[in-house]
Amino acid sequence: MYDYVKKLIQWRNLNEVIHTGKFRHFIPADGIYVYFRYNEKNTIMVVMNNNEVEKSIETKRYSEFLGKFKTGQEVISGNSLDDLSKLTIPSKSVIIIELK
């Protein structure tokens, strides 16, 4: 837990978009809440799964933000996401994606 929080705080402190970027959120659907922080340089997508089970979501609903991005990188794990059209989110968890 310590390493998780430490990594998240370090990442947050280094990303201006978190502090000064605009905020856009979407009404939760099926236990999934999504919001974006964005500015002229960066866009961050945060996906929260409040369900007791893993969920996969189609991202068409967020196309106004995802339309110009081809890939992303999950902040905590560092995993690259080559296909943003569908995301899988573990139960009771959050993923933070730096869009590229």
User: pLDDT tens across 68-91, in order?
Assistant: 898 999 999 999 999 999 999 999
Residue 37's CATH number: 2.60.40.1180
Please name the residues in contact with 86: beta carbons below 8 A apart, sequence gap of 6 or more.
56, 57, 58, 59
Q: Answer whether residue 95 shows pLDDT above 90.
A: yes
Q: How many structural domains are present in the chain?
A: 1
Distance CA 66, CA 36 (A): 10
- What does pLDDT average to over the chain? 95
Question: What domain range is 85 assigned to?
Answer: 2-99
Q: Within a 10 A sphere around the Cβ of 76, how many other Cβ atoms?
A: 14
Please name the residues in contact with 23: beta carbons below 8 A apart, sequence gap of 6 or more.
35, 36, 37
Token readout for 37 is 């922080």
Model's pTM, two decimal places? 0.93
